[in-house]
Amino acid sequence: MTHIDAGAELDPVHPVPVPSRATDGLTAAEVAERVAAGRVNDVPVRSSRSMAEIVRANVFTRFNAIIGVLWLIMLFVAPIQDGLFGFVIIANTGIGIFQEWRAKKTLDSLAVIGEVRPTVRRGGTAVEVGTSEIVLDDVLEIGPGDKAVVDGVCVEADSLEIDESLLTGEADPVVKRPGDPVMSGSFAVAGGGAFRATKVGREAYAAQLAEEASRFTLVHSELRSGISTILKYVTWMMIPAALGLVVTQLVVENKDLHDSLARTVGGIVPMVPEGLVLLTSVAFAIGVIRLGRKQCLVQELPAIEGLARVDTVCLDKTGTLTEGGMDVTALRVLDGFDEPYVRQVLGALGESDPRPNASLKAIIDAYPDSEEWRCVQSLPFSSARKYSGASFSEGDGESSSWLLGAPDVLLADDDPALAETGRLNEEGLRVLLLARASRELDDPEAGLGARPAALVVLEQRLRPDAADTLRYFAEQNVRAKVISGDNAVSVGAVAGKLGLDGSAVDARRMPADPDGMAGALDEGTVFGRVTPQQKRDMVGALQSHGHTVAMTGDGVNDVLALKDADIGVAMGSGSEATRAVAQIVLLDNSFATLPSVVAEGRRVIGNITRVATLFLVKTVYSVLLAVLVVCWSVDYPFLPRHLTLLSTLTIGVPAFFLALAPNRERAKPHFVRRVMRYAIPGGLVAAAATFATYLIAGHHYSGEGALDAETSAATLTLFLVSMWVLAIVARPYTWSRVLLVAAMGGAFLLVLVVPWLQEFFALRLVGVTMPWLAVGIAAVAAVTLELLWRWVDRRFPA
């Protein structure tokens, strides 16, 4: 091991003295000095937006500004009941802030549970500390799967290879030697070593990376971007419609200023689908809370939606389908080697690796180390070469080099031991080959010419929940592809035990071009001997053919694929690097949690699509009514209080319950098209029916109170048509949905029959003929709407 003596000189940049031996780490006194000097990695790692950001995002919106100005106008020119819409906005915004705050608390607490503590040397002893406790000049140990959390310089390297792809985009690992820089955000893929921290806190790139890795976001989502697109077009429609309404009510009609302003505001307010954005945020936030209770950390909220859209899930076998532990079940000695001697070799190999993987841990448990053997050189395991090794000075003074790895990599194609390996793999067993090396370990082709000594047979522990989860994906028409670095036949046997049928493919024989690879992926189910780069290429090949891909994994060899997949899912016990790049982390390592995430995504997408139709039907009929009023140069039919009542009963309250209801419908693309194909005809029919009633009522009534009577008749028609829209959107019916629709109808009936509510909302049905005519027009509109939507379903299927 190489050591660098930093001496006792002062660092020219920092006045704090560095330790006399950099590899021993800082003393307690030196740590205290650096803490006092503020040289601490004290950047807070946030898993969510701050409370100030949450309030700002929910309060200071374009539509809240429009509604706020209109509300202030109404408070000065009209009774309080015409300003009710302002109080509704305040209540809705408050609910949004509260729900997102709850989601923030859930994310923050889960992020603390999942936080990894780096290993730091202090006073010659390795200790685990929190990321925020690292100080300048700390010596941090790093091994396979560990991420560099601060910038530094390498002081020890034992075949250390670091992947800097998250920083540079280059997939090939970089070999590090003492004196080389180590950048925060990179992670070790092979070997081990240590580096001294040269930049901590906000000076290190990790400060930015860690903040981005687990931020509470509401972007990069088809649902959110679709709603933004809709709102953009709504804004453009609102401007001319509102201007025309202002001119008509204030200038052309030349009516009382207060009444004209009230009716103008009454026409503008319902054009704003302000609750749609708010309800989407609330639905996402509640989804995070629900999944948080199941120990599922959603690092980016759109991941809930994304996993619901996935049609192909790529599963890493180790850690996903199987548990981390393994057991040695047999030892088959080869080529005349003595079994006791082979056991000694295996014990020494286990002891030589300071960071053993699951296979080596099983060997360590089965074969204790012989103290007579001394390791003089080691070759850490690399998923690219598929073997590890070590050189020993044996008790009698002789030296030897040994390799432990994949038989089909280390053995010649015609070696008889491969046949036995194949039979064992077919039984679902994992087989490692112990071989005596004929070349130096630092030779790039160290495995060539190795003499086989023994086959080590290991059995993997299957996850008890894996079979049920795979069955769920099959029922939901989500294809499962098992992608592993292990032998294809062995992986296929494991998949077969879990009920996953299909052919097993050796990835080394797969086409390299994306089209050929995608074709092989369509035909096969299990893929073995896959390199980390191939995993990434497989994800890209599937995406190039229009598939939405999720990738699960826990090892550092999965990071590249996790990063490129549409949705990356990491196990909580996996490497820090996998958790950093994944959008979803299963903190309890339960593969069975994935169906819950899919179900939550489907609930959010399906329900928001439902309620978006309600909001946008209102926007469409409001704009059309404004245009009709301008063209006919008449008073706008409604005061703000009327539309507040209608919006609350036919949209606001129902939408809240519908958005949170169970929904197992598979997520479908083209959100904007699917919503607008219902909203436009629905709005057209509602506006036409309402304006027809209003014009007929204008000819029917005359004298004092005629305008109130005309408004009441138009309100009745609009309410009944809107209720039919709600009844269609609420399908398929359940008892709770039927009760919800009935309750909204009952509430409106209550307003019509209770005298003080009639007066409060200025609703009074006069006579018998016109109210029944309003009901008749609404009935015709409902039948038209039903037929029109059915035609749309056939003509423009989703």
Reply yes or no on whether the pLDDT at 199 is more than 50.
yes
Report the 10 Å Cβ neighbour count for 332: 16
Q: Which domains does the chain have, with CATH numbers?
A: 1-138+201-217 (no CATH), 218-288+598-795 (1.20.1110.10), 296-321+463-589 (3.40.50.1000), 322-462 (3.40.1110.10)
Reply yes or no on whether the pLDDT at 410 is more than 80.
yes
d(CA 591, CA 294): 12
pTM beyond cutoff 0.85? no
Reply yes or no on whether the pLDDT at 220 is more than 70.
no
Contacts of 758 (CB under 8 A, 6+ apart): 751, 752, 764
How does DSSP classify residue 714?
Answer: H
Which pLDDT value is given to residue 6? 34
- Among residues 316, 408, 558, 635, which one is catalytic? 316
Reply yes or no on whether the pLDDT at 136 is more than 60.
yes
Which pLDDT value is given to residue 634? 86
Q: Which run of H or E residues covers position 720?
A: helix 706-729
Cβ atoms of 387 and 447 within 8 Å: the answer is yes
Distances (CA, A) of 70 to 73, 83, 270, 361: 5, 9, 11, 69
Q: Exposure pattern of 557-571 as b/e (b: 16+ CB <10 Å)?
A: bbbbbbbbbbbbbbb
438 token code pair: 């004929």
Which pLDDT value is given to residue 457? 92
Which pLDDT value is given to residue 86? 78
Which pLDDT value is given to residue 646? 92
Which pLDDT value is given to residue 17? 41
Amino acid at 366: A
Q: In what order do the strands lie in the sheet with 322-333?
A: 322-333, 451-462, 430-436, 399-405, 387-393, 374-382
pLDDT digits (tens, 9 = 90+) for 733-754: 899 999 999 999 999 999 999 9
Which pLDDT value is given to residue 324? 62
Reply yes or no on whether the pLDDT at 578 is more than 50.
yes
Task: Please tell me the least confidently modeled range out of 158-172, 403-417, 463-477, 715-729.
Answer: 158-172
Task: Please tell me the least confidently modeled range out of 45-54, 67-76, 198-207, 610-619.
Answer: 45-54
pLDDT digits (tens, 9 = 90+) for 580-622: 778 888 888 888 888 888 888 888 888 888 889 999 999 999 8
Which pLDDT value is given to residue 724? 96
Average pLDDT for 401-424: 87
Cβ atoms of 682 and 620 within 8 Å: the answer is yes
The yes-or-no answer on residue 316 being catalytic is yes
How does DSSP classify residue 19?
Answer: P
Mean pLDDT taken over the chain: 82
Cβ atoms of 609 and 671 within 8 Å: the answer is yes
Query: Hey, which residues does 526 pair with through a beta bridge?
Result: 482, 504
DSSP output for 364-416: HHHSPPPTT-EEEEEEEEETTTTEEEEEEE-TTS-EEEEEEE-HHHHS-TT-T
Average pLDDT for 755-760: 92
Reply yes or no on whether the pLDDT at 650 is more than 90.
yes
Average pLDDT for 41-65: 73
Q: Name the range with the highest mean pLDDT among 15-19, 171-175, 456-460.
A: 456-460
126 token code pair: 């390795």
How does DSSP classify residue 733?
Answer: P
Reply yes or no on whether the pLDDT at 551 is more than 80.
yes
How does DSSP classify residue 147?
Answer: B
pLDDT digits (tens, 9 = 90+) for 494-503: 888 888 888 8
408 token code pair: 């089909």
State what percent of residues in the chain have pLDDT above 70.
Answer: 88
Q: Name the range with the highest mean pLDDT among 485-489, 575-579, 713-717.
A: 713-717
Reply yes or no on whether the pLDDT at 107 is more than 80.
no
Backbone angles phi, psi at 296, to 5 degrees: -115, 115
pLDDT category at 221 given cuts 50, 70, 90 is confident
pLDDT digits (tens, 9 = 90+) for 81-106: 777 777 767 876 787 787 678 767 76
Reply yes or no on whether the pLDDT at 483 is more than 50.
yes
d(CA 589, CA 571): 5
d(CA 192, CA 355): 8
Return the closest-CA partner of residue 407 out of 421, 389, 428, 426: 421
Backbone angles phi, psi at 445, to 5 degrees: -110, 45
d(CA 631, CA 691): 12
Which pLDDT value is given to residue 702? 85
Reply yes or no on whether the pLDDT at 409 is more than 90.
no
Query: Hey, which residues does 403 pair with through a beta bridge?
Result: 389, 435
pLDDT category at 205 given cuts 50, 70, 90 is low
Residues constituting the chain: 798
* Separation of CA 301 from chain center: 5
d(CA 747, CA 730): 18
Average pLDDT for 626-634: 88
pLDDT digits (tens, 9 = 90+) for 17-42: 444 455 788 888 999 999 998 888 87
Which pLDDT value is given to residue 22? 54
Residue 159: Cβ-neighbour burial (10 angstroms; 0-12, 13-18, 19+): buried
Which pLDDT value is given to residue 232? 79
Reply yes or no on whether the pLDDT at 471 is more than 70.
yes
pLDDT category at 712 given cuts 50, 70, 90 is very high
- Of residues 139 and 116, the one with the higher pLDDT is 139
Q: In what order do the strands lie in the sheet with 479-483?
A: 296-298, 584-586, 567-571, 549-553, 312-315, 479-483, 526-528, 504-506
Cβ atoms of 378 and 389 within 8 Å: the answer is yes
pLDDT category at 166 given cuts 50, 70, 90 is low
Cβ atoms of 611 and 655 within 8 Å: the answer is yes
Cβ atoms of 48 and 215 within 8 Å: the answer is yes
d(CA 378, CA 568): 33
3-state helix, strand, coil in the chain (%, to 5): 55, 15, 30
pLDDT digits (tens, 9 = 90+) for 423-451: 887 777 889 999 998 888 878 788 888 88
Contacts of 388 (CB under 8 A, 6+ apart): 349, 353, 360, 378, 379, 380, 381, 382, 403, 404, 405
Instruction: Compute the radius of gyration of the chain from its Cα atoms.
Output: 34
